[in-house]
Each structure stands twice: as structure tokens, then as C-alpha cells.
A and B are shown apart, each in its own frame.
Chain A
Amino acid sequence: MNELTLQALSFGALLFVLGLIGFLTRRNLILMFLSLELMLSGASINFAAFAWHSGNVQGQFFVILILTVASCEAALALALIVSLFRLKTTLDVKSWTTLREVTPNAGSPDILVDPEFEKFPELSPAGRDPMLRPAPMLVETTKSIEARPVRHVDHTNSHLT
């Protein structure tokens, strides 16, 4: 194998490893996906180098395929990041740890052992209890609501946080 190919292989390995470290350490969602793209471009360098080494264009076709898959992945990742950002206004990955499996003694309540955990689920507030409020206030709020134009209320955040 000639030295130019070996040099390219060396740089491809470097980019792959740096992208791997970046994906594992960074906590910003967007930077994690950029590290993933860096790993893909490190692999593409290897494909191009081997294509030139073996004297055909098959490896270059695989680089085109990698580009296609990377752009699909970027589009889907951006849509996911935007919809996650709408729910909790942060880009931190650590704010989504409730999605993972509950492990005992890992900072989260142990649902298998703790009897205190068995309580009723908390529902989002809908309507109100008429016994808890005096009647005049109820009439007043109803009037003021009738006078007000109907507005669209977005409860996306209050349901889920």
C-alpha cells in the first residue's frame, strides 16, 4: 500500500476516533449529531482511499451512499431536536433521562422496592372543583370569560412538565 493511502487511512481513523469521543462526551444535542457526522466523514475517507488504492470507483459510490444516509439522518435528527426543544426549552441530553430504563440506586426512585411509590398518578388539571371556590367569584370569572374573545390555549408545556 502506498504512503498517500496510508496517510489518508491514518487521518480517517483520527477523525473517526475524535468524533466518537465527541459523541460520548458532549451533552448538547446538536453537537452530538455533528460528532456523528464527523465519524461518518472519517469512514468516507477510508472508502475513498481504498477506492484509489484498488483502482476502481466502487468505493466512491459508497461515499455517495454515506452522503445520502447522512443527509437523511440530519433531517430527521433536526426534526426530533426541534420537537424535543419545544417540550423542554433546553438542548441538554441529560434532561431526557426519564426515557431510559429505571435502574436501582442510580439517583432515581426504586420502583421495585419503595412502597411509597404506589400512589395515584398525577393528572393534569382540567376544569375545577366547584366546592373549593365561593360562588360570586365563579359568576364573575364566567362573565369575564364570556366577554373575552375565545383564544387558543397551548397546554403542551403544562401537560408534560
Chain B
Amino acid sequence: MNVSLLSDATTILLLATPEILIPVILGGVSLFLLQIGMGQAQTKFKLALVGLGIVLLLGSFAFHFMDAAPTLPKALQLAFGMLSVFGAVGLLSFREPIHAALGFAVAVLSTAGIFLLQAAPFIAASTIIVYVGATIIIFLFVLMFAQSTHPQIQDVRLTSPILAIFGGMLLLLMIQGAISTLPIAAIPERAPQRVVDLGRVMYTDYLYAVEIAGTLLLIATVGAISLGQKKRVGRTTTSASSLTPPASQRPL
């Protein structure tokens, strides 16, 4: 088995072993049950059981790599990964949008733990700062300002879960099949990667990319300000529009 199999998706599908096929099928079916159960009056206990089952099923791919020699980094990464899958399943299936956004925060925080174990401490810190410190807070702010207290129709009824879960699970089957065909080697002994090296690479090899990213940030700032401004309609019109004010208009 070599990496050239990655190019042939159908070969990967034919190569899928039962220990990949069974979690994918069961995980897809229970994810479908979970998303269907959101709209119906079922007990939260049942739904939570189904969700935990999904997390365990989908995390069983990573359990394979624990067989040969369980070490502390592998166990830690397994814990962080299971936590992030739990948060992702929460994002998919919580009925309240606030809870779903908090599930996303859990997923991204555990992603930072995986970065730490992949010898990328700077990436872990910046993920926590950018995602959890800025993005999640702003999204939660907008959610609380826009969302009413009880779940709306769009939080309960979903767009074609069968098609989406089928396609997603097919993709997962192919990726996990490709990963399982890769040869397993021992963990190499390397010096830890330093932030100094990262900075040197940023400002020598990828200087243009850094400049373009800065320009992108500037353009996004300008765009966000100009999109977010409230349009001033009716300030310059004649009194024709104010002749028949709507009944619901409140005095300013």
C-alpha cells in the first residue's frame, strides 16, 4: 500500500476494512437519528446518549493508533481529540444556538491542545487568542442580540440531513481508509520547533504572503465597516413620506 492510492477514491472505498466501515455507518445513522430527534419531543437523556455514542464511534478511528505502544502524548492527544469531536457533535445537534456556539468553543479549545502536542505552541496560543478570545465572543454577542429566547424554526428543522450525512460519511470513509493504508513508523526524536524559526520563515521565505495577509486584513476591516453601517433612508426625502407615518412608529 502506498500513498499513490490517495488519487483513486474508488480503490480506497473498496479497500475499507470493517473496523473503518462499521463506525462510519453506525456513526452516520446515529447522527441522522440525533438530528431528526432535535425537532421532536424526545427526552434530552436519550439524545445525550446518542450523542455520546457518536463521539465514541467516531473516535474509534484514533483508538487504532493506541494499540502498538500507548504513550502519554498519544493518550493526551486522544483525550483532546475526543473532546473536540464532542464539541463538533454539539455544534451539529444542540437545539439552542448559544449551546451550539459553546460546543464550537470547546472544539476549538481542544484543537489548541492537539497543536500543542504537534510541537506548535505558538499556533496553540494564537488559536486560543484569535478563535476563542475574539471570534467566539463576537459571534456570541451577535447571537444574543439577534436571537430570541426560545428556539426558532431554523434551529429545529434542518436542511436535508440524509444527503449531507451520506456525503460527509463517504468523505470520512475515504480519508480514514487512506490514513489506514499509510505505513506506521516510530516517533522520531527531534528538537522542539522554536518560535524563532517560525518568525524567520515568516519574514524571509513568505514575506510577500505576510504582506498580502496584512492587506487582506485591511480590506476586510474596510468592508466590515462599510457593510455594517446603517443605511440612512428618508433623511433627505420630502415630507411626502412623513405624511402617512406607520401606526407602529414610536416617537424618537
Contact = CB atoms under 8 A, between A and B. Distances in A.
Interface in B150-167: 152-155, 157-161, 163-165, 167
B22 interface: no
Given A6-B179, A57-B201, A79 B107 contact: no
Contacts, number: 311
B120 A34 contact: no
B154 A25 contact: no
A83 B231 CA distance: 10
B89 A18 contact: yes
Nearest to A126: B240
Q: Counting chain A CB atoms within 10 Å of each CB, which of B78, B176, B179, B225 scores highest?
A: B179
Interface range, A side: 35 or more
B227 A65 contact: no
A11 B46 CA distance: 26
Contacts of B111: 15, 41, 44-45
A67 B126 contact: yes
Q: Is the interface of B mostly helix, strand, loop or mixed?
A: helix
A154 interface: yes
Given A18-B92, A65-B213, A75 B220 contact: yes
Interface string B188-219: 10100100011001100110010001001101
A91 B114 CA distance: 33
Contacts of A65: 209, 213
Interface string A50-70: 011001111011011101111
A142 B239 CA distance: 11
Given A1-B185, A26-B158, A38 B88 contact: yes
Interface string A70-88: 1111111011111101100
A31 interface: yes
A49 B65 CA distance: 15
A60 B64 CA distance: 26
A94 B154 contact: yes
Given A15-B107, A41-B131, A151 B251 contact: yes
Closest 9 CB pairs of A and B: A72-B220, A24-B164, A79-B227, A11-B81, A92-B154, A27-B154, A18-B88, A13-B175, A21-B168
13 contacts: A10-B176, A14-B81, A15-B85, A18-B91, A21-B31, A67-B130, A68-B216, A70-B135, A71-B130, A74-B135, A93-B154, A127-B240, A153-B246
